[in-house]
């Protein structure tokens, strides 16, 4: 069938034993196996690393499976109360009894302030969207508008979600002065506070959030902030070693 003379004799000779096709395939297979063993694990490893990073980040409001990154977890925070002092308005008032009452008022106001500062600075569900409604609800009708206008000073800010990845509390201290009416009932209280937290920004840098000042409370029983004087003195900070929230 093959025209003679075009190929060297024997080159296409039917007399060849036919090992060649199967053997060559087998040979090729033998040669490919090591490559698959090398490349596929690399791809899988890279995919795995990517998945881990993605889950750890919890981007876009997702729940992080691995700690750190854009955590949606609310870090626990409690103020430490340094003092609670009574200010009597009646001559010859029972100082001891009022001191106890002042402590009771401090006990009443401290969890309110824990919650207030948690919402204002620590709860990702609030600062991620700049939604501080729960903070404003703590202000009297008169003070609320001024408080909302001061959102950037009183809270982490409207654009905190674009700025921060995580915020963890560092320290919070409180001191109370409680004014009593002549009958010994509390009428007003001032909370002098100092609060600090560390915010890790989306660019990887960090800032120390420092807030201090005084909050005047009125309307005992349904305590509301009637006046305030607050200062922010944020500064650059080192990125914390661990993103794990730590309680004060």
Choose, by CB under 8 A, the member of 236, 238, 241, 247 that binds other proteins. 236
Please give the Cα distance from 82 to 67 (Å, whole number).
33
**Strands 164-180 and 186-201, how do they pair?**
antiparallel
Helix/strand/coil for 204: coil
Smallest distance from other proteins to CB 19, Å: 18
Helix/strand/coil for 176: strand
x/- site string to other proteins, residues 151 to 190, per CB under 8 A?
-xxx--x-x--xx-------------xxx-xx----xx-x
Smallest distance from other proteins to CB 206, Å: 10
Q: Are 221 and 149 within 8 A, CB to CB? A: no
Q: Are 72 and 127 within 8 A, CB to CB? A: no
Smallest distance from other proteins to CB 137, Å: 16
Longest dimension (CA), the chain: 134
Task: Give the Cα-Cα-Cα angle 134, 213, 127 (nearest 5 degrees).
Answer: 35
x/- site string to other proteins, residues 61 to 100, per CB under 8 A?
--------------------------xxxxx---------
* C-beta closer to other proteins: residue 13 or 229: 229
Q: Does 26 bind other proteins (CB under 8 A)?
A: no
Smallest distance from other proteins to CB 216, Å: 7
Which pair of structure tokens corresponds to residue 218? 């009125």
Short-list 168, 186, 170, CA closest to 178 = 186
Would you tell me which residues interact with other proteins (CB under 8 A)? 28, 31-32, 35-36, 38-40, 42-43, 46-47, 49-51, 53-54, 57, 59, 87-91, 140, 142-143, 146-147, 150, 152-154, 157, 159, 162-163, 177-179, 181-182, 187-188, 190, 192, 201-203, 207, 213-214, 216, 218, 226-236
């Amino acid at each position: 069938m093959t025209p003679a003379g075009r190929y060297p004799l024997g080159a296409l000779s039917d007399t060849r034993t036919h090992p060649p096709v199967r053997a060559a395939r087998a040979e090729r297979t033998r040669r490919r196996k090591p490559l698959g063993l090398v490349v596929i694990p690399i791809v899988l490893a890279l995919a795995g690393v990517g998945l881990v990073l993605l889950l750890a980040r919890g981007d876009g409001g997702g729940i992080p499976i691995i700690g750190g990154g854009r955590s949606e977890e609310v870090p626990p925070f409690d103020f430490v109360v340094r003092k609670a002092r009574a200010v009597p308005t009646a001559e010859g008032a029972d100082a001891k009894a009022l001191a106890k009452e002042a402590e009771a008022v401090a006990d009443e106001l401290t969890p309110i302030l824990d919650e207030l500062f948690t919402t204002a600075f620590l709860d990702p569900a609030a600062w991620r969207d700049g939604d501080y409604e729960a903070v404003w609800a703590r202000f009297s009708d008169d003070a609320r508008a001024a408080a909302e206008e001061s959102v950037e000073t009183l809270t982490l800010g409207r654009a905190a979600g674009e700025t921060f990845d995580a915020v963890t509390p560092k320290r919070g201290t409180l001191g109370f002065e409680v004014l009593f009416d002549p009958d010994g009932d509390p009428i007003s209280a001032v909370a002098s506070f100092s609060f600090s937290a560390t915010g890790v920004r989306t660019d990887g840098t960090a800032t120390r959030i420092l807030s201090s000042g005084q909050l005047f409370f009125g309307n005992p029983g349904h305590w509301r902030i009637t006046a305030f004087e607050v200062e922010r003195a944020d500064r650059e900070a080192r990125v914390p070693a661990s993103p794990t929230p730590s309680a004060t």
